[in-house]
Amino acid sequence: MRAITVAEIIAAVSIIGLILLQDRSGEGSSAIFGGSQTGGEFYSRRRGMEKILFIVTIAMVVLFLGLVIYQLALSNR
């Protein structure tokens, strides 16, 4: 197995883990689909560990997409 494939698998598993670690208590999508909204404010700011997890998740997704594009470029040669 090539090193790029192993890196893609590690990145994919990391993304899944990071998504599962994120806070699910927000009412963002439930408010869109008719759920109740407490406080009258739809937008909430991320702070502390929640913000770090969010940024790391985005970075891992960008890394994963970069690896996939790189592997596609290598396979077209």
Q: Backbone phi, then psi, for 2, in 5-degree steps?
A: -75, 155
29 or 77, higher pLDDT:
77
Give 33-56 pLDDT, tens digit per residue. 555 555 555 566 778 888 899 999
Contact yes or no for 12/50 (Cβ under 8 A):
no
The pTM score is 0.71
Domain range for 26 is 3-75
Crossing angle of the two packed helices 49-75 and 3-21, in degrees rounded to 10? 150
Total structural domains within the chain: 1
Q: How many CB atoms sit inside 10 A of residue 15's CB?
A: 17
Q: What pLDDT score does 25 carry?
A: 67
Contact yes or no for 26/44 (Cβ under 8 A):
yes
